[in-house]
Amino acid sequence: MAKWISVEERLPEVWKTVLTFQPTTTDDKGIIQTCVYIGNPGRWRVAWNHEFLELPVTHWMPLPEPPGGFAPTEGGTGDSSPTDSEL
């Protein structure tokens, strides 16, 4: 199983979807969600809506492999790269 990686140690590939951890002041468990690192130091986007994160990401980890026996959906590439209109 993958382990959490500090952003101070290493960052993920640009536009790769990963799990992120953001500590909060109101919840000792913090926030864990799928995000993409966009290449600017400290800049991350939420994977499902592409909104920028407001709280800093302190750790990340690669996504686990999907369960066996599933084919990608039509048109799905698993790539979170921006479209031309997002650049």
Rounded distance between C-alpha atoms, residue 32 and residue 2, angstroms = 14
Dihedral angle at the C-alpha atoms of 39, 45, 49, 53, nearest 10 degrees? Answer: -160
Q: Please, how many CA atoms are within 13 Å of residue 66, restricted to the half-sphere of its CB?
A: 7
- pTM greater than the 0.85 cutoff: no
pLDDT reported for residue 4: 96
Which tens digit of pLDDT belongs to each residue from 37-65? 998 878 899 988 888 888 899 999 999 88
Residue in 52, 57, 64 with CA at minimum distance from that of residue 21: 57
